[in-house]
């Protein structure tokens, strides 16, 4: 995890939802963290999300998915980018 802190960009690739249909994008992590505040972009199966000082910016959505639907599925407020 020391590599993540020293990197200029850190990307996370994951599925957007759990098997139970809950968002994996959450306002606060519940697991122990070793690289706090180092993620710059999140790639999911539904969207590309940039992590900025202003919040999470939804950049690219999967074809056919509206921003409103992505917001409904996501556990935090998104900014339309």
Domain spans, the chain: 2-80
Choose the weakest-confidence range: 3-7, 54-58, 64-68. Answer: 3-7
Q: Rounded to an integer, what distance in angstroms lies between the CA atom of residue 52 and that of residue 66?
A: 21
Q: Rounded to an integer, what distance in angstroms lies between the CA atom of residue 18 and that of residue 20?
A: 5
| pLDDT tens digits, one per residue of 22-34 | 999 998 888 888 7
8 A C-beta contact, residue 44 and residue 14: yes
Degrees to nearest 5, angle at CA 34 with 25 and 8: 80
Percentage of the chain beyond pLDDT 90 is 72
Residue 2 belongs to what H/E stretch?
helix 2-6
Q: Given this model, what pLDDT does residue 2 score?
A: 64
CATH match for 2-80 among 3.30.110.40, 3.40.50.360, 1.25.40.80, 3.40.1080.10: 3.40.1080.10
Q: Given this model, what pLDDT does residue 1 score?
A: 54
The two structure tokens encoding residue 48: 């590309």
Q: Is the pLDDT of residue 19 over 90?
A: yes
């Amino acid at each position: 995890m020391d590599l993540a802190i020293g990197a200029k960009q850190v990307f996370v690739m994951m599925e957007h939802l759990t098997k139970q249909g809950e968002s994996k994008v959450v306002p606060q992590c519940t697991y122990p963290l070793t690289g706090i505040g180092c993620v710059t972009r999140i790639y999911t199966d539904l969207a590309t999300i940039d992590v900025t000082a202003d919040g999470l910016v939804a950049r690219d959505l999967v074809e056919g998915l509206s921003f409103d639907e992505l917001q409904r599925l996501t556990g935090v407020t998104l900014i339309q980018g």
